[in-house]
Amino acid sequence: MKKILLTNKYSGTPEKIVESEVPAGFETVFLSEQTQSALLDEAADADYILAGGRLKITKEVLDRAVKLRMIQRSGVGLDALDLDSIRERGIPLYVNQGVNAESVAEHALLLILACLRRLPTICADTKNGIWKKQEQGVKTSELMGKTVGIIGMGNAARTLVGLLRPFHVKILYSDLFRAPAAFEAENGITYTDTDQLLSDSDIVSIHCALTEETRGLINAQSIRRMKNGAILVNTARGEIVEPEALAEALASGRLSYAALDVHAKEPIPEDYPLKSIDNVILTPHIAGVTADSFRAMMRDAFRNIECFENGELDVIAPYRYL
């Protein structure tokens, strides 16, 4: 029986969903603890690795995984994978692009609206008996008519563009690769460079991959380029934003609000500078995880592994990354 090693540790309902999607003839192996050392210990017996985004698939892991036939990514980010080492060994890597794009896009829109309406602050005030309708209301803003800047135009960002259209916003975007002219025209979006996007946008939503070029992209210097009172939303990767610089900008009022689903260190540490800031929303890297998207991720991932095992490469070829 072929063994599938899962690098994420699941319990409760997520574990039941995972187990319900495992195809016949396969055995799933869960790590004893979610650490890099546990991954090294278990890698030797794995025929397949279902890779989450937290633990790293390093050269050392690949050296131990002598039976490994294929790596399947459960999500879509690639920053936890040593792509050079995977390529050198000729190990196929499959990624189900766009599998949670709807979930991420909806969460990004939720965070944008929650920031504009200062939802956590208003909720706390109401619970504490503060009822000043006009005084509280005029501190909030509508999304309609705003300029939204999107950094990165992948699947989730393109889905967000569609969700934003009914709000009649102006959308700017930056990316290494420009979207097709037809997509730009259909959605009324404008391609620009990141510096111009930062200076012209009322709301900046981050959707780019984590690379050496994007690591620390949002720092003290880039924040100074942003509009006074702008909003920052990040549902991409935590290391793209420098939390100390963001905390200073929020505390000073340079930025009015921010919302982060991803963080430089996860889980967030006790000394995380954004924990004590009122005008920031923090969620636990949950944008891509709903009951719907999680089941779809597991179903599609296991289906790819089963197809690979059965030699049905033509079925899953569109999902091959390496």
- Is residue 285 flagged as an active site residue? yes
> 42 — phi, psi (to 5°)?
-90, -15
- As a residue count, the chain comes to 322
Q: Which SS3 state, helix, strand or coil, does residue 149 take?
A: strand
Q: Name the active-site residue from 73, 237, 263, 303.
A: 237
Q: Name the active-site residue from 107, 158, 207, 285.
A: 285
For residues 114 and 281, is the Cβ–Cβ distance under 8 A?
A: yes
Return d(Cα 49, Cα 44) in angstroms, integer. 11
Q: Name the active-site residue from 19, 33, 142, 266.
A: 266
| Beta strand spans in the chain (E) | 2-6, 26-30, 48-51, 70-73, 93-95, 147-151, 170-174, 189-191, 203-206, 230-234, 255-260, 280-282
- Is residue 309 flagged as an active site residue? no
Rounded to the nearest angstrom, the gap between the alpha carbon of residue 285 and the centroid of all alpha carbons in its chain is 7
- Is residue 237 flagged as an active site residue? yes
Where do runs of H (alpha helix) occur along 117-228? 119-127, 133-137, 155-164, 181-187, 194-200, 220-225
Active-site amino acid positions: 237, 266, 285
